[in-house]
Amino acid sequence: MLQAQDLSYTYPNGETLRFPDLTCAAGETRLLLGKSGSGKTTLLQLLAGLRSPATGSVEIDGTAVNTLTGSALDRFRGAKVGMVFQTAHFIRSVSIRDNLRLAQSLGGKPVDDRRIEELLTDLDVAHKTHAFPAKLSVGQQQRVAIARAVINQPAVILADEPTSALDDDNALQVLTLLQSQAAAVNAALLIVTHDNRLTSAIANQTTL
């Protein structure tokens, strides 16, 4: 589960943003809403330990993220945080399966081809297991990105505008998959978005 308290961030230009406190329990989905420039992405980065806050603390699965530094923080993120971005990014030079294997080994987990196969089947992209990322459609890529975010059974899944690049059908499908996969690994799911198609579907909302 995820807890953020008293978070603020100071940009290099001196501008400081304060963020509301956040809690997202295991298995729960929460939307983080806000206009462009309201600092949603900055908040997400603070939560993932990609940036250091000026004040406040982030706690994931009982660990204070701010107390970790360097490679320990990277390892923690690999093991406990799954991330999905607006555009799915992959290691272009290796197959979908190797991308997922890489996520497992970088997250400190043993490579488990059975789990990879099950996830890809669940997400209806099993036939792309051996394909290179560039051979997948945008919707397929986003589904593989979801598989990658949940593969290490993280405590928290952070999704940054996961649906805004997709059409209506795909957007709802991706949301459903995100929720069901998060539930399957009992992770807290936090979605940063300004996509109106999602606001009607999810009740837990925090606005910046």
Partner 1 sequence: MNILSLAFRNLWYKPLTALLSVLLFALSIGLIALLLNLRAQADDQFDNNLAGINLVVGAKGSPLELVLNSMYHVGYPNGNIPLGKVKAFFNPQHPIVEAAVPLSLGDSYLGYRIVGTTADLIDWYGGVLVEGKAFAKDFEAVVGEEVARKNGLRIGSTFRSSHGIIDEGADRVEHDGEFVVTGVLAASGTVLDQIVLTTNQTYWHSHEAHDAEGGHAGHDHDHAAHDHDHDHAEVTTLMEEDPEKEITSILVRYKNPSSFQALSFPRNINENTDLLAANPAYEISEVRRQFDTGQRLLGVLVVAITIVSALSIFISLFTSLRERRYELALLRVLGAGRPRLFALIVAEGLIVAVIGYGLGILLAHAILTLLAADISGEFRYSLDAWRFLPEEFWLLAGAVLLGLVAAIIPAIQAARTDIGETLTGEG
Token couple for 131: 């394909």
As to burial, measured by CB atoms within 10 angstroms (0-12 exposed, 13-18 middle, 19+ buried), residue 132 is middle
CB 25, min distance to partner 1, A: 23
CB 130, min distance to partner 1, A: 14
CB atoms within 10 A of CB 21: 11
Interaction site with partner 1 (CB under 8 A): 36-37, 39-42, 44-45, 48, 50-51, 70-71, 74-79, 83, 85-86, 89-94, 98, 101-103, 105-108, 111, 148, 160-161
CB 75, min distance to partner 1, A: 5
> Which is closer to partner 1, CB of 71 or CB of 200?
71
Per the CB < 8 A criterion, the answer to whether 185 and 154 are in contact is yes
> Which is closer to partner 1, CB of 50 or CB of 54?
50
CB 37, min distance to partner 1, A: 7
> Which is closer to partner 1, CB of 87 or CB of 176?
87
Per the CB < 8 A criterion, the answer to whether 99 and 113 are in contact is no
Cα dist. 23→1, 16, 28, 36, 45 in Å?
A: 8, 22, 10, 23, 16
> Which is closer to partner 1, CB of 61 or CB of 160?
160
CB 44, min distance to partner 1, A: 7
Torsion 74-155-48-126 (CA) sign? positive
